[in-house]
């Protein structure tokens, strides 16, 4: 049986099934291990990990601890409540915006690649080249946030570092827009998102792209990148306080367990708190050489769990409403047995988005693609319901092919 327990309840002899944190936050080679020493327990607590999942069939039990399923049910009930708050509606159709978003993505990735190369060579970052890309990303988000966000979910391992920076910029702009932050501040936040990982230009490729777990020495090098990025960007004439703040503090955590300054709660600005959320969300949903990315819907649930300690809980809930409980690009199974890809969140019903259906699982065949608005009743373009999200790999389909049906 799997149970959720507080880290303070850990005992030697317990079997850790999952360390409830993102991969960069714990000091162990694996997520699963039998605790053999008090030192291992101290390592977990010192890493800022507050709760873990134990397997009682493989180690000691914990009395009065909730099961993983009980916690999941509680979280789902809370997420349903979160989904009832209205969100910002799209202004342009998915088909219209995808064409523009594709070009913006290409230009933005090329720019970040140049920025990182310049940083590695010791050159000053030219902000007048970065600004127009941030403006293009912002305009795309205002027209239809799902188009660019959906495209940016597709990452190749070789281009991850550059695509991640573009994704953080885009997510942060969308987040600011959802929170109705003024346009000038949103622009500065987007700029910060685009350059937040500049310091990684100084990290050796063999560490940055290492397929296995990092050593403590390699962790120390990785954890220098916020300060390195800050120092690099400070040399750029006209750089504002917000991009510098985001670059330096996007790995800080609400409980003070982050780096480089172990800032906590009120010591971290709102925009840096927001950047921390989108940075982790994008990182854990991407395939890397050392781990398989999780589905976006699962990642949001993980963020919700971690928000008890690592993130501002209010901001995590607002971010979930921003990207949707089933984010654009998520493949879902409907009650009818049809598979579809989410193309647009509903303004007031986040559990009932628009879905482009294209495959029937009961018949095991492709069907004529059509758009289903799950907020509508049967006979009015709806009449169906999401059962769960699905893995494209499981069905051997590319859901992104069906993003642009609704022209």
pLDDT, tens digit, 9 for 90 and up, residues 43-58 = 888 877 888 899 999 9
Reported confidence tier of residue 22, pLDDT bands at 50, 70, 90 = low
Nearest-CA neighbor of 303 among 291, 321, 288?
321
Give CA–CA dist 205/195, Å, rounded.
18
Residue 216 lies in a domain: yes
Nearest-CA neighbor of 46 among 214, 223, 262?
262
Give CA–CA dist 87/5, Å, rounded.
34
Please tell me whether residue 285 adopts helix, strand or coil conformation. helix
On whether both 315 and 354 belong to a single domain, the answer is no
> Token match 């959720």: residue?
4
pLDDT at 300 over 60: yes
Reported confidence tier of residue 407, pLDDT bands at 50, 70, 90 = very low
On whether both 301 and 339 belong to a single domain, the answer is no
On whether both 276 and 191 belong to a single domain, the answer is yes
On whether both 108 and 256 belong to a single domain, the answer is yes
86-122 pLDDT, tens digit per residue, is 566 667 788 889 989 999 999 999 999 999 999 999 9
> Token match 């916020």: residue?
226
Residue 72 lies in a domain: no
Please tell me whether residue 315 adopts helix, strand or coil conformation. helix
CB atoms within 10 A of CB 182: 8
The vertex-165 CA angle with 146 and 176, nearest 5°, equals 50
pLDDT at 398 over 90: no
**What's the whole-number mean pLDDT along residues 62-76?**
85
CA dihedral 246, 248, 250, 254 (to 10 degrees): -110
Give CA–CA dist 167/164, Å, rounded.
5
CA dihedral 277, 280, 285, 290 (to 10 degrees): 180
Count CA within 13 A, CB hemisphere, residue 58: 14
**What's the whole-number mean pLDDT along residues 263-274?**
95
CB atoms within 10 A of CB 316: 23
Residue 53 lies in a domain: yes
**What's the whole-number mean pLDDT along residues 155-180?**
90
On whether both 216 and 275 belong to a single domain, the answer is yes
What is the pLDDT, as a whole number, of residue 29?
Answer: 60
**What's the whole-number mean pLDDT along residues 78-86?**
69
What is the pLDDT, as a whole number, of residue 78?
Answer: 78
Give CA–CA dist 406/403, Å, rounded.
8
CA 167 to chain centre: 9
Q: Is 13 left (phi over 0), alpha (psi -120 to 50) or beta?
A: left
User: Per this entry, what is the length of the chain?
Assistant: 407
The DSSP-derived string for 30-55 is: -S-EE---HHHHHHHHHTT--EEEEE
Q: Let me know: does 221 contact 207? Beta carbons within 8 Å.
A: yes
204-245 pLDDT, tens digit per residue, is 999 988 877 788 899 899 999 999 999 999 999 999 999 999
> Token match 């999200």: residue?
389
What is the pLDDT, as a whole number, of residue 279?
Answer: 97
On whether both 141 and 288 belong to a single domain, the answer is yes
324-373 pLDDT, tens digit per residue, is 889 999 999 999 999 999 998 887 788 889 999 999 999 999 999 999 99
Segment among 82-96, 132-146, 292-306 with least mean pLDDT: 82-96
Q: Let me know: does 280 contact 22? Beta carbons within 8 Å.
A: yes
pLDDT at 406 over 50: no
Residue 304 lies in a domain: yes
Percent of the chain with pLDDT over 90: 57
In Å, what is the CA distance from 121 to each residue of 124, 195, 201, 261?
9, 16, 9, 27
Count CA within 13 A, CB hemisphere, residue 349: 9
Residue 89 lies in a domain: no
Secondary element (H or E) of residue 356: strand 354-360
Residue 87 lies in a domain: no
On whether both 37 and 108 belong to a single domain, the answer is no
pLDDT at 21 over 70: no
CA 290 to chain centre: 17
On whether both 129 and 232 belong to a single domain, the answer is yes
On whether both 187 and 52 belong to a single domain, the answer is no
Bridge-based pairing state of the strands 33-34 and 15-19:
antiparallel
CATH code for the domain of 225: 1.10.3210.10
272-298 pLDDT, tens digit per residue, is 999 999 999 999 998 876 677 888 999
On whether both 314 and 253 belong to a single domain, the answer is yes
Residue 77 lies in a domain: no
What is the pLDDT, as a whole number, of residue 365?
Answer: 92
Number of H helices, E strands in the chain: 15, 9
Q: Which residues pair with 19 in a beta bridge?
A: 52
Residue 200 lies in a domain: yes
How many structural domains are present in the chain?
3
Which residue range forms the structural domain that includes residue 142? 94-323
The pTM score is: 0.85
């Amino acid at each position: 049986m799997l149970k959720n327990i507080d880290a303070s309840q850990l005992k030697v002899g317990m079997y850790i099934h999952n360390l409830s944190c993102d991969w960069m936050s714990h000091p162990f080679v694996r997520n699963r291990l039998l605790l053999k020493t008090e030192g291992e327990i101290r390592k977990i607590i010192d890493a800022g990990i507050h709760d873990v999942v134990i397997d009682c069939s493989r180690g000691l039990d914990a009395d009065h601890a909730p099961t993983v399923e009980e916690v999941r049910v509680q979280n789902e009930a809370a997420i349903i409540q979160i989904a009832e708050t209205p969100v910002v509606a799209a202004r342009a159709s998915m088909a219209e915006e995808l064409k523009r978003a594709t070009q913006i993505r290409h230009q933005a990735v090329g720019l970040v690649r140049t920025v990182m190369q310049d940083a590695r060579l010791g050159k000053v970052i030219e902000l007048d080249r970065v600004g127009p890309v941030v403006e293009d990303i912002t305009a795309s988000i205002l027209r239809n946030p799902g188009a660019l966000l959906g495209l940016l979910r597709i990452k190749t391992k070789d281009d991850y570092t550059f695509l991640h920076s573009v994704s953080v910029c885009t997510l942060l702009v969308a987040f600011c827009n959802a929170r109705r932050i003024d346009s000038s501040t949103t622009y500065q936040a987007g700029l910060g998102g685009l350059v937040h990982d500049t310091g990684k230009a100084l990290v050796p490729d063999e560490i940055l792209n290492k397929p296995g777990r990092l050593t403590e020495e390699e962790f120390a090098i990785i954890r220098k990148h916020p300060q390195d990025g800050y120092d690099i960007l400070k040399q750029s004439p006209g750089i504002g306080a917000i991009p510098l703040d985001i670059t330096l503090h996007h790995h800080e955590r609400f409980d003070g367990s982050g780096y480089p300054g172990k800032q906590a709660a009120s010591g971290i600005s709102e925009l840096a708190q927001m950047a921390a959320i989108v940075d982790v969300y994008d990182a854990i949903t991407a395939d890397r050489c050392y781990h398989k990315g999780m589905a976006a819907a699962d990642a949001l649930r993980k963020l919700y769990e971690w928000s008890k300690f690592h993130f501002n809980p209010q901001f995590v809930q607002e971010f979930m409403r921003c990207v949707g409980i089933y984010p654009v690009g998520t493949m879902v199974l409907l009650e009818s047995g049809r598979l579809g890809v989410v193309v647009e969140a509903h303004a007031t019903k986040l559990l009932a988005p628009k879905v482009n259906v294209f495959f029937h699982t009961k018949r095991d065949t492709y069907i004529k693609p059509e758009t289903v608005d799950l907020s509508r009743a049967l006979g009015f373009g709806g009449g169906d319901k999401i059962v769960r999200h699905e893995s494209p790999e499981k069905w051997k389909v590319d859901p992104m092919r069906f993003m642009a049906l609704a022209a």
